[in-house]
Amino acid sequence: MLLLATATFFPQPCLIKSDQRPIPVGEFLEDGENMRIPLGEKKFPRRVVLAGAALAGLLAFAATPRAFAHDYDDYGRCQRRIVKADHKLHEAIEHHGWNSRQAGHARHELHEARERCWNEHHRWWEEDAHRWHTDRDWDDHDHDRH
């Protein structure tokens, strides 16, 4: 039995004529018109409105003030300043002695840090007890007792 091979798909005729050549960019067609690609001019106003809405939303959320974080950061800075001064006092006492010039300077720095917190927030951090005080009741020589 002999089967003849037949094509499943029929060949489509070519849409480009054999004598037609491609038109280089910038040249004009035979009728004097330039080739134009449709850019979707009807979509342009929608895109402008959408971009404007996105920009307005971005600016609205970017300009929102931090409500509680500012105070928290200030308290955190104040606390870290006192913790650092308290640590330096402990180090000065350990390395140079109770009545050394370095310990006296560190006591002064701790006093300044506590004063600054008190003046800014009417509270100060006690590192040894790990708590905030709302009364101005610190003792400048509290580290002299051992």
Residue 6: predicted pLDDT: 59
Residue 85: predicted pLDDT: 95
Residue 45: predicted pLDDT: 74
Give per-residue pLDDT as tens, 24-44.
555 555 565 655 555 555 667
Give the model's confidence band at 51: pLDDT under 50 very low, under 70 low, under 90 confident, else very high. Answer: confident
Give per-residue pLDDT as tens, 118-129.
998 899 899 888
Domain count, the chain: 1
Share of the chain above pLDDT 90, in %: 27
CA distance 118 to 75: 11
Average pLDDT over every residue of 95-112: 94
Answer whether 82's CB lies under 8 Å from 127's CB. Answer: yes
Q: How many residues does the chain have?
A: 146
The two three-digit tokens of residue 104, written as one number = 């006296």
For residue 110, tell me if it sits in a domain: yes
Alpha helices in the chain (DSSP H): 44-62, 69-96, 101-121
| Tokens 């640590």 -> residue | 87
For residue 105, tell me if it sits in a domain: yes
For residue 16, tell me if it sits in a domain: no
For residue 139, tell me if it sits in a domain: no
CA distance 41 to 23: 25
Residue of 38 and 52 predicted with greater confidence: 52
For residue 82, the enclosing domain spans 72-133
For residue 3, tell me if it sits in a domain: no
Residue of 143 and 57 predicted with greater confidence: 57
For residue 57, tell me if it sits in a domain: no
Give the model's confidence band at 63: pLDDT under 50 very low, under 70 low, under 90 confident, else very high. Answer: low
The two three-digit tokens of residue 39, written as one number = 């850019």
If we measure between CA atoms, which residue out of 83, 67, 92, 65 comes closest to residue 128? 83
For residue 85, tell me if it sits in a domain: yes
For residue 113, tell me if it sits in a domain: yes
Torsion angle, CA of 66/69/70/75, rounded to 10 degrees? 170
Average pLDDT over every residue of 13-23: 62
